[in-house]
Structure formats: C-alpha cells, structure tokens
Amino acid sequence: MNYRHAYHAGNHADCLKHALLVWLLRSLARKPAAATVLDTHAGIGAYDLTGPEALATGEWHDGIARLWAANPPALAEYLSLAPPGPTYPGSPDLIRACLRPHDRLICCELHATDAAALRRHCRADPRVAVHHRDGYEAVRALLPPASRRGLVFIDPPYERADEYETLVAALAVARHRFAAGSLAAWVPIKHMAPVNALRHEIATRFTDALAVSLWRQPPTDPTRLAGSLLLVLNPPYGFESAAAAIVAALVPVLAGPGGGGLVERWAEE
Ligand SMILES: C[S@@+](CC[C@H](N)C(=O)[O-])C[C@H]1O[C@@H](n2cnc3c(N)ncnc32)[C@H](O)[C@@H]1O
C-alpha cells in the first residue's frame, strides 16, 4: 500500500468527487429519516496543504486553489465546507459536516497508520465508526445498514491490478444487499481503454448508472492522471441536472486545452 492521499488532496479529482459528494449528502438529508454513509476508502479525514506531501506535488494549486479564486456560485455548498485555508477536508470530514445527529458514518481504511489517525480525528464524534479493514470486504459484511437509507462512497487508490474487477464485484454486492442505497465510485481517467471496459461492464450488469467526468487534458498518456469520473448507481432524484451544473462550473476553472466534462448515462433506469 504505497498510495498516500496527502500528496493529492485538493487536486482536480478531489474537487470533482467532493463537489458531487456534497450534493449527494445534502440530498440524503432532505428526508427526515436517518441515513448511513459507508466510506469504504476513507483516508485520514483532513489534509494539511502546507505539509511536506502537499508541498512536494503542489497539486492543490491546480485544484481547490483555483476554485477558491473563481468562487463559482454552483459550487457554493462544496466551497463552504472546503473554504480557503491550510486544511483541506477529506471525505470523512465532508460527510460529517452534512450528517445530522441521527445519521451514521462508517469509515473503512486499510492502511494501519491512516486508520489510527482517522480514529483519533473522529473520536469525539459519536456518529462515526472507524474500521481498520478492507472497504470492499466491508460492503459484504456491513450492508444493508440498519437505517436502510444511505450512500456507499467507494474511492480506491487503483494500486491493485484487479481493482476494476474488485470494484464491479463490490458494486454488485452493494446493489444486491442495499437496493435502496445510492452507490458512488471514483474512477481515474488516464487513457480511455479501462474506462470503456468499465462502462461496458456497468451497461451489461447494472441499471440506472450515471458517470460524471472531468478531464483536464486529452486522456492519451496511461501514466498521467488526465481526469476522473464519479460513477453513481441509483442516483437520487435531481442528481443528473445538479451534476451537469457542477461540471459546467468546474470545467472553465480546472480544465486546460483539450479538457472538458460530461454527464453520461451508462445504464438505463
Ligand atoms: C483516494 S484515498 C481516499 C481519499 C478519501 N476517500 C477522501 O476523499 O478524502 C484511498 C484510501 O484508501 C486506502 N485503501 C487502499 N486500499 C484499501 C482497501 N482495500 N480498503 C480500505 N482502504 C483502502 C488508502 O490507504 C487510502 O487512504
């Protein structure tokens, strides 16, 4: 496990996935009944943009820093939870900010040091349970949640050779065990072959799937993260148009020449 999110916090991929995550969370909170969020690859909860890892890559300068400067109205909810400052929120902190007292967050993190850091970070919040365990395995073990409403957020580092197969298998289990829940999975875009293969799998095995993409430059170099997408299964009502507005706000600020963004239906309702 070499991946450390501290090097990438606040980059263009975080901006896309987190802006959409915040909308999904706000949507969950519109109904009074309790909801549960399962964050399968949670990280450490918050990231120091002045720390050595963030300084080494400077990726956040071409991500969240640009959004702070442009401040597009369509991203107001996200930016209110990720305001200018030295600390960038990870998914656990964004989720905690949107949860109500009767909602629950289950975080899984497989890296022992990161899991311990996340447990310390969340220890004062009684709504949060932190597990040092494989998030894919937790999908099988912990779903459905008692609340029967909620969101599964899957944000893997794509270090494993079988990550796409494991992701699709986890989505199938989650869909089967938690049919009422929405599922959101982050996917890197380096070149299009693996993305197209995943799209084919989703189209043939699932219903009701949308993919929201943002790419900064044409995805032609397999070694370089050109962009990313958030795949959402069983999206809440209104997600498609909200995602289109979020992408339309992100693209002019984050994309360079040959860049763009798209909301595509990968599987019919
Ligand atoms: C992209 S980062 C997560 C970032 C976080 N979701 C956020 O938005 O702030 C991926 C995390 O997954 C962890 N990880 C890798 N494989 C895992 C697995 N099988 N189960 C749970 N966590 C895993 C890594 O240690 C890393 O912290």
What would the pLDDT profile of 76-116 be if each residue is shown by its tens digit? 999 999 999 999 999 999 999 999 999 999 999 999 999 99
Residues 193-211 pLDDT 10s: 999 999 999 999 999 999 9
- State residue 85's pLDDT score: 98
Hey, which of 109, 152, 153, 159 would you mutate to test ligand 1's pocket, going by the most ligand atoms within 8 Å of its Cβ? 109
Asked whether 228 lines ligand 1 (CB < 6 A), one says no
pLDDT for position 127: 98
- pLDDT, residue 209, reads 98
Name the β-bridge partners of 227.
189, 215
**Total domain count for the chain?**
1
Yes or no: say if 122 and 128 are a contact pair by the CB < 8 Å rule: yes
Residue 32 — left, alpha, or beta (φ > 0 → left; ψ -120 to 50 → alpha)? alpha
> Quick one: which atom of ligand 1 is closest to the CA of 156?
10
Report, as an integer, the average pLDDT of 149-171: 97
Q: pLDDT tens, 10-23?
A: 999 999 999 999 99
Containing structural domain, residue 252 = 5-267
pLDDT at 1: 79
Q: Which residues pair with 213 in a beta bridge?
A: 229, 262
Among 81, 89, 92, 7, which Cα is nearest to 41's?
92
For ligand 1, say whether the CB of 5 is within 6 Å of any of its atoms.
yes
> Is the Cβ atom of 1 under 6 angstroms away from ligand 1?
yes
- Between CA 121 and CA 10 the distance in angstroms is 19
Residue 257 alpha carbon to ligand 1 centre in Å = 30
Please check the confidence at residue 46 and state whether its pLDDT lies above 90: yes
Residue 256: predicted pLDDT: 96
Which residue's C-alpha comes closest to atom 27 of ligand 1? 43
Q: Which whole number is the average pLDDT over 240-247?
A: 98
Tell me: the pLDDT tens digits for 124-158? 999 999 999 999 999 999 999 999 999 999 999 99
Report CA dihedral (235, 225, 93, 64) to the nearest 10 degrees.
-110
Task: Give, using CA atoms, the residue closest to atom 4 of ligand 1.
Answer: 43
Closest atom of ligand 1 to 43 CA is: 27
Q: Which residue has the tokens 């909620």?
A: 150
Q: Is any ligand 1 atom within 6 A of the Cβ of residue 115?
A: no
Query: Would you name the residues annotated as active-site residues?
Result: 155
Measure the CA dihedral 172/177/181/184, to 10°: -30
CATH assignment of the domain containing 181 = 3.40.50.150
Inter-CA distances, 154 with 33, 59, 123, 240, Å: 23, 22, 22, 19
- Kindly tell me if the per-residue pLDDT of 159 is higher than 90: yes
User: What dihedral angle (degrees, nearest 10) is formed by the CA atoms of 118, 120, 122, 124?
Assistant: 180
Q: Is the CB of 111 under 6 A from ligand 1?
A: yes
Is any atom of ligand 1 closer than 6 Å to the C-beta of 89? no
Kindly give the number of the ligand 1 atom that is closest to the alpha carbon of 9. 9
Residues 9, 88 contacting (CB under 8 angstroms): yes
> In the structure, what pLDDT confidence band is assigned to residue 225 with cuts at 50, 70 and 90?
very high
Q: What is the residue-averaged pLDDT of the chain? A: 97
Per-residue pLDDT tens digits for 49-81: 999 999 999 999 999 999 999 999 999 999 999
Quote the ligand 1 centre to 74 CA distance (angstroms).
28
